[in-house]
Amino acid sequence: IMYKHINRCPILDIAYELDIHRNTVSEYADLAREVISEYIYSNNDLLGGLNEDGTSKIVEIDESYFFKRKYNRGRLTNDQWYIGSVESGTKKAFIIQVPNRNARLLGK
């Protein structure tokens, strides 16, 4: 179940292939999301700082807006802002969901 879910196989397809109820697949998918989220939150590393030679590390920060239109028309639904960061060289990264992108939240 986990392998197929992580590889983005639809829940109904997983249930059909494994001959189990779709609610069972959905519960395992929810569990996987919880475990992955907990791992990410408990293993976050500090980005930036200084390299061993005393030079500053480069950290790239960006914001993204994800949305979905229902039936490709009308008002936007499920819209979310995300802030992400990647440290050059090590490729350490993080992404978080934010309620909006106002200056106070982003730290100007």
- pLDDT digits 0-9 by tens, 55-94: 999 998 888 887 776 676 666 666 788 888 899 888 788 8
Same domain membership, residue 63 and residue 96: yes
Residue 3 pLDDT more than 80?
A: yes
Q: In what order do the strands lie in the sheet with 76-87?
A: 59-69, 76-87, 93-98
Q: Is residue 40 scored above 60 in pLDDT?
A: yes
Which carries the bigger pLDDT value, residue 45 or residue 55?
55
Do the domain assignments include residue 33?
A: yes
Q: Is 63 within the bounds of a domain? A: yes
Residue 51 domain-assigned?
Answer: no
Contacts of 65 (CB under 8 A, 6+ apart): 79, 80, 81, 82, 101
- Report pTM: 0.49
Residue 50 lies in a domain: no
Task: State which residues form the domain around 77.
Answer: 59-106
